[in-house]
Amino acid sequence: MNHGYAQDAEHGKTIFKACAACHATDHANRVGPGLGGIIGRKAGAVPGFRYSNAMKTFGMVWDAKILDAYLASPQKVVPGNRMPYAGLKNATDRADLVAYLATLK
């Protein structure tokens, strides 16, 4: 268990349950695109997934910082994107979630 300030990917995995309804942890597309290899991947770039124009033209490569901002407030960071998720307000939970996302290959 990790009780310090370090990010806790194990905790992040439990938070990911809120995402798992739409996202696979590998490269399979469901309601949302597969999140395998999300860190370092260009936004809106999974072949065969029908992204919104907003996501297709976002133009950023997902890193921990941009993911954190996006998950805090998806519509603020990518206005007009079609992900039906209001945002995760707790910064510690978000950091843990992003740490977990970084383990997905």
Closest approach, Cβ 19 to ligand HEC, in A, equals 3
| Helix, coil or strand: residue 97 | helix
Contact with ligand HEC (CB under 6 A) among 55, 77, 95, 99: 55
| Helix, coil or strand: residue 91 | helix
Binding marks (x or -) toward ligand HEC, 65..94, rule CB under 6 A? Answer: --x---x---------xxxxx--x------
Given the complex with ligand HEC, which of 67 and 95 has the nearer CB atom? Answer: 67
CA 94/CA 80 separation, integer angstroms: 22
